[in-house]
Amino acid sequence: MDIIRYTSEYKNLKEQFTCGNIVIDNFLRNDNALDENQGITYVLLSDKKDVIIGYYNIEVGRVDQMEEIGGNVMYIERRLAKRDGVWC
């Protein structure tokens, strides 16, 4: 298994990836994972490099969270701002 930077070379593998969380699945499937404005994405590939086992994304300045509001689970994206050299 290898952890490598996700590039368009591996786009053909994204449709078979699922972790059971639609927000996480869709980030990879709708090409946000290739948008450097959304951070840098790395994938864990199988030994044959034919299956994405998992992925992670590193982005400075954004925190994503799931929050329950009125009995509904909502996806919330919060952009951070840099103040006096500190992200907040």
Q: What is the pLDDT of residues 26-45, one digit of tens each?
A: 999 998 899 888 889 999 99
Q: CA 87, CA 67: separation in Å to the nearest integer? A: 22
Domain ranges in the chain are 2-83
User: Is the pLDDT reported for residue 88 higher than 80?
Assistant: no
Distant-in-sequence, close-in-space partners of 62: CB < 8 Å, separation ≥ 6: 39, 77, 78, 79, 80
Terminal Cα distance for the chain, rounded: 36
Can you give the pTM of this predicted structure?
0.70
Mean pLDDT of the chain, nearest integer? 84
User: Is the pLDDT reported for residue 5 higher than 70?
Assistant: yes
Amino acid, single-letter form, for residue 88 = C
Q: CA 39, CA 19: separation in Å to the nearest integer? A: 20
Q: For residue 70, give the 3-state DSSP assignment.
A: coil
